[in-house]
Amino acid sequence: MTRRDLIEVKSGESKYLVGKDSIDTLSARDDRGGHLLENYVDTPQYKALLRGALWYMKEESIDLLVSGLPVNHFGNDGNRMRDRLIGVHKYPDGREVVVKDAWIIPQPVGGFIDYFMTGSKITRVNDIKSLTLDVGYYTLDWVTCRGIRMQDERSGSVPGGMSLILEKLTQLISVDRNSQFSDVGIVDNGIRNGFKTRI
């Protein structure tokens, strides 16, 4: 038996277990919600996930932290999210992580930048028109660019993403097995492991 890869963090008045194996701590009946809350960046759950991510970076000080938001949340929540990222993040074991500055971008922009930084054969970025899709857990986002300029009127997001796909798959498994099945964690893990899982 190996130990689960988890860390305990405090957010607000509550403690959370976050980390690579956190899905194992949920029961099949836990409702992780099928949509992104409008005030997501203000929730203690968001702050707990942020602190978990910072922990895994294993850095005591971060000069610039880049993070993304769904396209439709970017305009309203970007500055509030930036304010929440900057500062000192404390952990129950006494460790602290200092974030000196933060840059918030629409989520698909990360994939757009990564493509051109790591493997693109295109030499004249300013001449292209591009569409970048980002299927997240709670949203499907898209960004349209002409060169490196985002076209706001042709970019956006819709509720859905992988959470709805996983929910639909649990329903189909229930029908196939002729018995109730609702453990999206098992389905999620199966997809991540090449559809090799036991139900």
- Kind and range of the H or E run holding 60: none
- How far CA 76 is from CA of 41, 81, 159, in Å, comes to 11, 10, 16
- Report the amino acid identity of residue 26: L
- Residue labelled with tokens 């492991």: 193
In this prediction the pTM is: 0.77
Rounded-to-integer distance, Cα 50 and Cα 79, Å: 16
Tens-digit pLDDT profile for the chain (199 aa)?
677 778 788 887 888 888 877 766 665 445 455 456 677 788 888 888 888 899 889 999 999 999 999 998 888 889 999 999 999 998 888 889 999 999 999 999 988 888 877 876 677 777 789 999 999 888 899 999 998 899 999 999 998 888 888 889 999 999 999 999 888 878 888 888 877 666 6
Rounded-to-integer distance, Cα 77 and Cα 98, Å: 22
Copy the structure tokens of residue 168. Answer: 């639909």
